[in-house]
Chain A
């Protein structure tokens, strides 16, 4: 239960971090909050030769408005999702999801950028970037780029990040007056990984759904948007018939993995239950 020996480098700038990684290659890992990486090293699932500590890079910190987006620095800690007023106002879905992320002490260290970069399919925040239509800003040896969340999560723990690249910030479109959101998850105990979780963001016009993005987690290899269910709801006033149709559409949207603990049929059932509850809450908020 101890990590293999490694060297440690504390980078002061993004350039230093990228340069160190480029020189060491696949044997280097960036470390931020470390709440998933440190256990992985202890279990020797990974055994890098160099850890590059990025937590002292000022450019990766801070939350501010930038155009029509809220720019959330990659080093923003989970606990700041609860305490930062700009997040509560302009990205309330993240604020609502934060209490469900692990335990308080983990939230004090874990970072938003780290969670998105790891892309654990059972984690709350990666899935919420999908619901929010967020953009992920990446720095790497070949410069900076922004990738839509829709194009970021590729497969199990596999993302659009290339070796040697790191997330600098996540851009979330500002929450608007005509939008509504809902979040919840089903877990055996609070703080455990969810059996199924879901977050959604809807734009409404005259009591009808103009646009809706619904994202599930703990349902497969990646956080998953349920586009069939979304399409069912467009133009509806969230009447019970349309909610039932959206619940039925999940069968085509989700293909839960085979698992002895939670069989696919059970997970699909739980997803339908959760979707029904959240759409009900969305309607009540009208």
Chain B
């Protein structure tokens, strides 16, 4: 049984090498076990589109996709993600999969300061991949873990609603 190496306990600040596939590229970095995934993405990998807000899973600004599912990158340590596929707002932007959502957010002023927007988009992307045409209540429910301190949410719900309808009709958002 290859168990715990107790020398590990002597230096809790010692860094560990972790490997992920971030936005389609293989990367490796050295992290302290207590470094959260959001800090690793921002500080080590310089992917600053993922925002660290409350750092306790309440505000949703730090959402990324981990193996295809939206998760709070402040609620896990980078070491836990070793071997995982991570897609951040940069990767989702580059691939074009949320281009219609981004355009609609822009068109409807569904952002002001923009701090919450990456998390909103990751969440909206997951919602629309699971429910083709959610009603407004379902959209609000899905967004219940994402805080926006500027817009009052109405335009955000409008934008997601419009994109859902447009996708169902097979065209772009109007």
Chain A residues engaging chain B, CB cutoff 8 angstroms: 1-10, 12-13, 15-16, 19-20, 23-24, 31, 34-35, 38-39, 41-43, 49-53, 55, 79, 99, 102-106, 108-109, 189-191
Chain A: minimal CB distance from B53 (Å): 11
20 contacts between A and B (CB under 8 A): A5-B12, A6-B12, A10-B82, A20-B4, A34-B80, A35-B57, A35-B75, A42-B55, A50-B8, A51-B77, A53-B80, A103-B60, A103-B144, A104-B123, A105-B57, A105-B70, A105-B72, A108-B66, A108-B69, A190-B141
Q: Does the CB pair A50–B69 fall under 8 Å?
A: no
Q: How far is the CA of A116 from the CA of B136 in the complex (A)?
A: 32
Q: Does the CB pair B72–A49 fall under 8 Å?
A: no
Interface residues on chain B, size class: 35 or more
Q: Does the CB pair B77–A190 fall under 8 Å?
A: no
Q: Does the CB pair B4–A102 fall under 8 Å?
A: no
Q: Does the CB pair A16–B34 fall under 8 Å?
A: no
Q: How far is the CA of A9 from the CA of B55 in the complex (A)?
A: 23
* Given the contacts A39-B57, A108-B69, A13 and B144 also touching, CB distance less than 8 Å: no
Question: Which residues of the other chain, B, contact A20 by a CB distance below 8 angstroms?
Answer: 3-4
Chain A: minimal CB distance from B42 (Å): 14
Q: How far is the CA of A20 from the CA of B1 in the complex (A)?
A: 11
Q: How far is the CA of A150 from the CA of B4 in the complex (A)?
A: 35
Further contacts, 14 of them, CB under 8 A, given A7-B9, A103-B145, A106-B145: A5-B12, A7-B14, A8-B77, A9-B4, A10-B79, A38-B76, A39-B75, A42-B56, A103-B144, A104-B126, A105-B72, A105-B126, A106-B57, A108-B66
- Which residue of A1, A5, A10, A50 contacts B13 across the interface (Cβ within 8 Å)? A5
Q: How far is the CA of A76 from the CA of B9 in the complex (A)?
A: 30
Question: Which residues of the other chain, A, contact B66 by a CB distance below 8 angstroms?
Answer: 108
Q: Does the CB pair A6–B70 fall under 8 Å?
A: no
Question: Which residues of the other chain, B, contact A79 by a CB distance below 8 angstroms?
Answer: 69
Cβ of B71 under 8 Å from chain A:
yes
* Chain A residue with Cβ nearest B62: A105
Q: How far is the CA of A55 from the CA of B82 in the complex (A)?
A: 12
Q: Does the CB pair B12–A38 fall under 8 Å?
A: no
* Chain B residue with Cβ nearest A77: B69
Chain B: minimal CB distance from A187 (Å): 10
* Given the contacts A6-B12, A38-B77, A51 and B4 also touching, CB distance less than 8 Å: no
Q: How far is the CA of A13 from the CA of B142 in the complex (A)?
A: 35
- Which residue of A2, A5, A16, A109 contacts B71 across the interface (Cβ within 8 Å)? A109
Cβ of B6 under 8 Å from chain A:
yes
Question: Which residues of the other chain, B, contact A106 by a CB distance below 8 angstroms?
Answer: 57, 72, 75, 145
Q: Does the CB pair A7–B141 fall under 8 Å?
A: no
* Chain B residue with Cβ nearest A37: B75
Cβ of B21 under 8 Å from chain A:
no
A-facing mask of B148-173, CB < 8 A → 1, else 0? 00000000000000000000000000
Q: Does the CB pair B145–A38 fall under 8 Å?
A: no
Cβ of B16 under 8 Å from chain A:
yes
